[in-house]
Structure 1
């Protein structure tokens, strides 16, 4: 008789609000949890059953392969593929070398990691230099805009499963999406976006949306902010059970990843200060 070992959700050494609520949700499902104590999987480390991972991108790159975990994330250029009416600003992909040459204000961010802070830069000279970031690092550059309210939506198989408000006028302001006065509008907009582009995203993903002051008309309208990997996103006030569903799918055993999702597997990012 074969005994099926419980799955284990692995965390980085640094605990946060999301890892704490995911720990509780995992226990309710009979899963085990493990906080690693360093940036390497210890020699001889065993967890028994299949592993899943919740961690930041740098830590995930360091341990995922040793855990046998595949990481699903949105394509770097996903935002640039969306129609203007969905994002309501001009967005383009460039390299860090090209971003260093910018001489006008732009909102700049790394697509899927934290290699430099995401914010509005006066020009490219304010970015970290070549001693900190590789010149070929991908950068998303967009027009500076004002989001009045921002929401995080968790999606599984093209359907929104939970969400939360996380900011108002750029300041952290957390509320559940369930029961929010803007819930119908945000859910309807998110559903429209996913109906058009779910095939361009992993089956488990986070999509941030918000209300934006449209520069063309001066009116407030919904727009996509960005898409993120579920395994590295804060849950804010979203339903922990549904968040866990997304995390388990987005960062689970490599041999369980569907053919459909394999094009969204993250390749570990090598930093200029990594060992050769």
Structure 2
């Protein structure tokens, strides 16, 4: 009996809104013999498909991931608020949008794992979405207002930084590969502290943003690799993280199961 043909290469799916990062990841996927497909509709394709990973924004991912059978890894919604002060450099509270609306001071408010409203400094809680636009129990992160002097993006797999990029200086876009930044070793040393045993854990594949504030290093936030821009990160290394962060549900191991994004049914 002749040997069975090898299985077809897995395909990386992209949303209809292809970004510079999407194009870079698609090129990296093709270089290693993977397929790449841009999905044109806000639903999974009918019938069998070879899609084994996804790069897309949260709303599109919510619309298609369940039908594709993909598990999407993300940090726990309250992860940033569970970190010790020495890693955040500011007070951060995990609360509800109803409570945040009662704020009478400036604060940085953001949705933990999506873009349901703009993440920014609000003069007070009156500028947050009202109950007609957002359920009162919607979770939010509320942080003290700080000014990061430099910010860096790190693609992490299995607790190791595979690639990184500076992306901002004093709030303005300033993109440089981490290898070319004079503070590379400081960034990696701080990241090792954040990723060390005993610190509230992250998924095995995730994007970690860190920065300098008030003369010390601090965590900016953690992001889902399958939805994060790569800036000047190496696209091949970033793809390694994306392929782990968005993969068929049966391949998600016990350690990562707790980090699976709940299956949502989003509409366009």
Q: TM-score, normalization: structure 1?
A: 0.92
Shift in CA distance, 182/118, structure 1 to aligned 2, threshold 3 Å: same
State how 1:45-64 maps to structure 2 within 5 Å: 46-47=48-49, 49-64=50-65
State the match for 2:257 in structure 1: 262
Query: Are 1:162 and 2:157 counterparts?
Result: no
SS of residue in 2 equivalent to 1:173: strand
1:43 Cα deviation from its structure 2 partner: 3.0
CA distance in 1, matches of 2:74, 2:56: 13
State how 1:41-190 maps to structure 2 within 5 Å: 41-44=44-47, 46-47=48-49, 49-190=50-191
CA distance in 2, matches of 1:254, 1:231: 15
State the match for 1:232 in structure 2: 227
State the match for 2:213 in structure 1: 212
Q: In the alignment, is the contact (CA less than 8 A) between 2:13 and 2:39 conserved in 1?
A: yes
State the match for 1:28 in structure 2: 31
User: 1:226-276: per-residue Cα shift (whole Å, max 9, x none)?
Assistant: 1111001000000111100000000011111111100100013567xx59x
Gaps of 5+ in 1: 214-219
Shift in CA distance, 50/269, structure 1 to aligned 2, threshold 3 Å: closer
RMSD across aligned C-alpha pairs, in angstroms? 1.6
Correspondent of 1:11 among 11, 14, 18: 14
CA distance in 2, matches of 1:198, 1:113: 23
CA distance in 1, matches of 2:138, 2:127: 16
Q: Which deviates more from structure 2 when the two are superposed, residues 105-114 or residues 198-207? A: 198-207
CA distance in 2, matches of 1:71, 1:107: 26
State the match for 1:38 in structure 2: 41
Shift in CA distance, 197/50, structure 1 to aligned 2, threshold 3 Å: farther
State the match for 1:217 in structure 2: none
State the match for 1:216 in structure 2: none
Q: Which deviates more from structure 2 when the two are superposed, residues 24-33 or residues 35-44? A: 35-44
CA distance in 1, matches of 2:139, 2:263: 14
User: 1:57-94: per-residue Cα shift (whole Å, max 9, x none)?
Assistant: 11101100111100000001111111111101000101
1:2 Cα deviation from its structure 2 partner: 4.8
CA distance in 2, matches of 1:88, 1:248: 32
Q: TM-score, normalization: structure 2?
A: 0.95
CA distance in 1, matches of 2:199, 2:158: 8
CA distance in 2, matches of 1:240, 1:164: 11
State the match for 2:239 in structure 1: 244
Shift in CA distance, 266/258, structure 1 to aligned 2, threshold 3 Å: same
CA distance in 1, matches of 2:235, 2:183: 21
CA distance in 1, matches of 2:125, 2:38: 38
CA distance in 1, matches of 2:119, 2:246: 24
SS of residue in 1 equivalent to 2:262: coil
